[in-house]
Amino acid sequence: MEHWPAVAWVLLLIVILDLLKAAHTRDFTEQEIIFLHPSTTPFPGGFKCFTCEDSKDNFECNRWAPDVYCPFEAKYCYTHHTIYVDRVSVSVTKRCVAPEDCLSTGCTEMDHEGNKVCIACCEGNICNLPVPWNETDAILTTTSPRSSTVGLLQSYTLTFSLIIGSFIISSGI
């Protein structure tokens, strides 16, 4: 009966060694991670938009929209929605656009045929799922603030410099 404690100790050591091996697995290198999980975007920050030309309504546009990435110069998803007076979609156009194409978001007044056009832009991956129906929807939506923190930091630096400069001048240093 004396050999059973020795066998138990050997089995316990084997289990402990296996646990130590599992706890100290080798880390992947950056190259291995890139190889195993390649970026699915064509460039950093790449995104997709629903894209269609003159679809009869939003459902048809989104249903048949090709699944492709926007070009590098595009920063927003654009939606142009023509609506008849009775809230009926006449046409929907969606595409990737550069920032200058989103300067005129909003809705037009109804024309002589009873149609109005609402344009919306958004920033983000497939953010243009809905269509704008009114002024509340026809806006530019962004995922990040338009003003950068760097500009704010420069403003604080300039203010601080002016305060220090005026203190030095007033002290006569």
Cα–Cα dist 102/122, whole Å: 9
CA 148 to chain centre: 16
Closest C-alpha among 104, 105, 52, 95 to residue 74: 95
Q: Tell me the CATH number for domain 52-141.
A: 2.10.60
Task: Say if residues 118 and 107 touch (Cβ distance below 8 Å).
Answer: yes
Listed as ranges, residues in the chain with pLDDT below 70 are 1, 19-40, 144-173
DSSP 73-138: T--EEEEEEEEETTTEEEEEEEEEE-GGGGTT-EEPPP-TTSEEEEEEEE-STT---S---STTTS
Q: Report residue 96: phi and psi, to 5°.
A: -85, 140
The pTM for the full model equals 0.62
| Beta-ladder partners of 107 | 118
pLDDT at position 41, please? 74
Task: Say if residues 49 and 95 touch (Cβ distance below 8 Å).
Answer: yes
pLDDT at position 1, please? 53
Taking only the tens place, the pLDDT of each residue in 117-144 is 999 999 998 999 999 999 999 999 998 6
Residue extents of the structural domains in the chain: 3-36, 52-141
Supply 60's token pair: 């048809």
